[in-house]
Amino acid sequence: MPDDLHGMRLALEEARRAYQCGEVPIGAVILDDAGSVISSGYNLRETEHDATAHAELIAIRRACKALGRWRLTGLTLYVTIEPCPMCAGAIVMSRISRVVYG
């Protein structure tokens, strides 16, 4: 199981990136059981003019692409805020095993 403090620090780094480019400062990162980063993302709603460009969805899309599968079982998603209903649905649909937010 990955170290939660490490995962949240990485998510906070993503949130900083969002803040630096004028976005809502929310970041997300997906780690495997060894603590290796599979994907990351931050909010891009303003930049992309896309209501669905939330940090969690971006990280999920990138993880699916990186792994070549849509089932993300065995992975942990770290996000800097409680996921909204849209993101919560995507988390369930992608079968992410664990979510840590704060």
Distance, CA of 97 to CA of 99 (rounded, Å): 7
* pLDDT digits 0-9 by tens, 38-66: 999 999 999 999 999 999 999 999 999 99
User: Any catalytic annotation for residue 56?
Assistant: yes
Please identify every stretch of the chain with a pLDDT value under 70, giving residue numbers as ranges: 1-2
What residues does each domain of the chain span? 4-101
4-101: CATH class? alpha beta
Q: What is the pLDDT of residue 3?
A: 86
Q: What is the pLDDT of residue 91?
A: 99
**In the β-sheet with 98-101, what is the strand arrangement from edge to edge?**
37-42, 27-31, 76-79, 98-101
Catalytic residue among 13, 14, 56, 82: 56
Q: What is the pLDDT of residue 2?
A: 64
Q: What is the pLDDT of residue 1?
A: 55
